Chains A and B, each alone.
Chain A
Amino acid sequence: MNGVVVAETVRRCVTSIAYWAFVALLAIISLGLARFDRPGTAWPSLVSLLAYIIGCTAIGPEFSSGTLQLILTKPVNRSVYLVSRVAGVVSAIWIAALIAFSFELLGRVLWVGAVRLDIIGAILINTFVDTLLICALLVFFASFTRAYFNIVIYMVLMIGLGVAQGMVSMFRSMSGTLGAWLATHDIVDRILASINSNLFPDAPPRLDWHWLLMIASNAAIAIVAACFIFRRREVPYGAD
């Protein structure tokens, strides 16, 4: 890990007006929705949205703008640079998550008078791990594409998997050879569901160490694969 890169990445995020506008929105929503009974109503989804927005900028745009070429002439190992960029981006997202979490706690103290720290704490930890996976996948897709193609691939894959699962269910309920085959062979369903839950998981409402470990492992695999590809990748200078 390179502290200089991590600090610069965080600086770039937190010196953006858009970042603080988003964080302010998060804080207001967390504070307002704390009046309701259900903890963590909206902010985890908004933090995930922030992860999409910031996570897709980690490598791709740098590659296209030529910034990356400038940095790669410095004595920084490519893998270290990539991991440090992920760490910086994730730190900025986690800062936002912590602020949202704090405002939910504040709201609960103000409006409800009681704080279910175990549940809200679990939501915060789940959000941390979930956003780590989002950033790791975006960086993995960025390791072999350029500009913002990583977020395009991510969205196409996420939506495509959902659509594929829906279509399999639809075909299974239909008469005919395919419907009959799908009804007796649920492996297609299971494979699609497994990919979906591994790449685009729904966080459980409570702390689930198995889930946390699975998501953290998937994120680690994505980052290692990204490093492997990025180390050998050519970065044409003056190409764009």
Chain B
Amino acid sequence: MSRSLPRAERGVQVRALKKSFGSHAVLQGIDLDVAPGEVVGLIGPNGAGKTTLMSCLLAFLHPNAGEITIDGLPNDDLRVRRRTGFVPERMNFDRRATGYSFLRYMAGLARVGNRETKVRAMLERLGIAGAADRRLSQYSRGMLQRIGMCQALIHDPDFLFLDEPTSGLDPNGVLLVRDLIAEQKQRGAAVLLNSHQLAEVGKVCDRVFFLNRGVIGREETLRHADRIVIAITMLPGFDANAIARIAGNAPKENVVIATVETEADIAQMVREVIATGAGVIDVRKHTADLEGIFRGVA
């Protein structure tokens, strides 16, 4: 595909989005942003409105109120769709088609140039080149998921919407999807990931939105592109005020969370904490406890 298209500049923006089915309000004023080069996770219990939100973002459904813009354009604009990739939870297509012909069709719809080469390369990349000439009816769930990823990525989208992309995949497939998401992020794509697998979300997402009963219950930043979040665990009996001054955060139980810019800053902060007389027993890069947060929100 010719990369004469502009790169994502503003990403995905959702403002005061509301969607009802009859009297049942499914989305009740959603605000969210996905910046270019950012992977955002969407998690929540069944019936929280995740699929409805995804459907609104992809212009399958018309919101009752609010605004969705993608790089400043309406989400149903063809210029946006040309730069959008979508992986559904379950791939449905003419099962008589071969993997190759299905992908060639999708590449044609996405106006991909040099289709043959690109299709072969994508099949190779996703590890299903050997099954290219087999009918989709003979594909396993995991293989269908892989070909779903192929069709979403074949035109190097700037906005990627993934609905349970690792569902049905073996561990190799899960690692592959993780790598692909990292590649898209590196490329500058804005990625929205809808998943029930909290561990997976924790590993790939920069931010997470917890959706519950049609509202964003909580937003959690898991990692920053240019900062490192660390958790320092100390023995009891430390000077909480001094630690809070150094870390910029009050310790909770025996742990203080701090944000630094470089690895040298980590060493410096640990030195300062030790200088207060605290017994440091563990320092590690911080990952949010999504399960704990999920329990709290849901």
Contact = CB atoms under 8 A, between A and B. Distances in A.
- Is A bound to B? yes
Contact of A66 (B90, B97, B161): B90
Contacts of A67: 92-94
Contacts of A74: 81, 106, 109-110
Interface string A1-38: 01011001001100110000000000000000000000
B88 A75 contact: no
Residue in B51, B92, B106 with the greatest tally of chain A CB atoms within 10 Å: B92
B108 A237 contact: no
Given A12-B96, A16-B96, A237-B88, A69 B60 contact: yes
Interface residues of A, number: 26
Contacts of B84: 73
B60 A71 contact: no
B67 interface: no
B255 interface: no
A67 B54 CA distance: 16
Interface in A121-174: none
Contact of A12 (B62, B94, B161): B94
A71 B107 CA distance: 11
Interface in B49-91: 51, 54-55, 58-62, 78-79, 81-82, 84-86, 88-91
A236 interface: yes
A80 to B, nearest CB: 10
B61 A73 contact: no
B96 A66 contact: no
Contacts of B125: none
Nearest to B59: A72
Interface of B: 51, 54-55, 58-62, 78-79, 81-82, 84-86, 88-94, 96-97, 101, 105-106, 108-111, 151, 161, 163
Contacts, number: 75
A238 to B, nearest CB: 5
B55 to A, nearest CB: 5
A22 B12 CA distance: 50
B94 A237 contact: no
A234 B63 CA distance: 10
Given A77-B78, A234-B61, A71 B51 contact: no
Contacts of A75: 78-79, 81-82, 109-111
B96 A234 contact: no
A65 interface: yes
A238 B90 CA distance: 9
A161 B163 CA distance: 46
A65 B94 CA distance: 10
Given A73-B81, A73-B84, A236 B55 contact: yes
Nearest to A2: B109
10 contacts: A65-B92, A67-B93, A67-B94, A72-B59, A73-B58, A75-B81, A75-B82, A237-B54, A237-B60, A238-B163
